[in-house]
């Protein structure tokens, strides 16, 4: 166990379980194309415009893919808020299927609660007040149950 990890919780913004973070350096094949990270895939899925999707795919870092998507948020698909959880789960499943290391880490996490220890994001992580929704952690736990 590392840092603040406990018997019951893993905070995967930190090194040992950083692989669960969408910024981690695991390339993903998605719809026939290779993306540098799952973060790239997630942000490209916000758009229907193939040119924008390709520009996001070709950004040089997960951070850049996020920034590019934010700059273009006025062009985002209209149903994004309705579909983003489903799409993120599909991305995470692809990550598990394409990287045995991710699957191994997920199974190693046992029954511990998975928390995205993001002090910025109250939707995907638990946010600045540790009261966030932690949707990313919840999706990882769902997938873990499905692959056990």
pTM value?
0.87
With a cut of 80, say whether residue 12 has pLDDT above it: no
Q: Where are the domains of the chain?
A: 1-25+113-148, 27-98
CATH number of this structure's domain 27-98: 1.10.357.40
pLDDT of residue 16: 73
To 10 degrees, the CA torsion angle through 139, 34, 55, 89?
-10
Which tens digits make up the pLDDT trace of 37-95?
Answer: 999 999 999 999 999 999 999 999 999 999 999 999 999 999 999 999 999 999 999 99
Close Cβ partners of 125 (under 8 Å, ≥ 6 residues apart): 13, 115, 116, 117, 118, 119, 132, 134, 136, 137
Give me the pLDDT at residue 13, please.
Answer: 57
pLDDT tens figures, 101-118: 999 999 999 999 999 888
């Amino acid at each position: 166990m590392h840092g603040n990890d406990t018997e019951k919780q893993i905070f995967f913004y930190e090194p040992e379980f950083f692989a669960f973070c969408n910024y981690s350096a695991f390339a993903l094949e998605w719809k026939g194309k290779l993306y540098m990270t799952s973060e790239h895939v997630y942000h490209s899925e916000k758009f229907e415009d193939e040119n924008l999707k390709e520009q996001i795919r070709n950004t040089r870092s997960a951070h850049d893919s996020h920034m590019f998507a934010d700059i273009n948020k006025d062009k985002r698909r209209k149903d994004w808020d309705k579909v983003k959880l489903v799409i993120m789960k599909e991305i995470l499943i692809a990550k598990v299927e394409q990287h045995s290391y991710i699957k191994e880490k997920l199974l190693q996490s046992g029954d511990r609660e998975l928390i995205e220890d993001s002090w910025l994001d109250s939707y995907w992580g638990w946010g600045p007040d540790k009261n966030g929704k932690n949707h990313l952690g919840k999706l990882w736990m769902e997938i873990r149950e499905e692959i056990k």
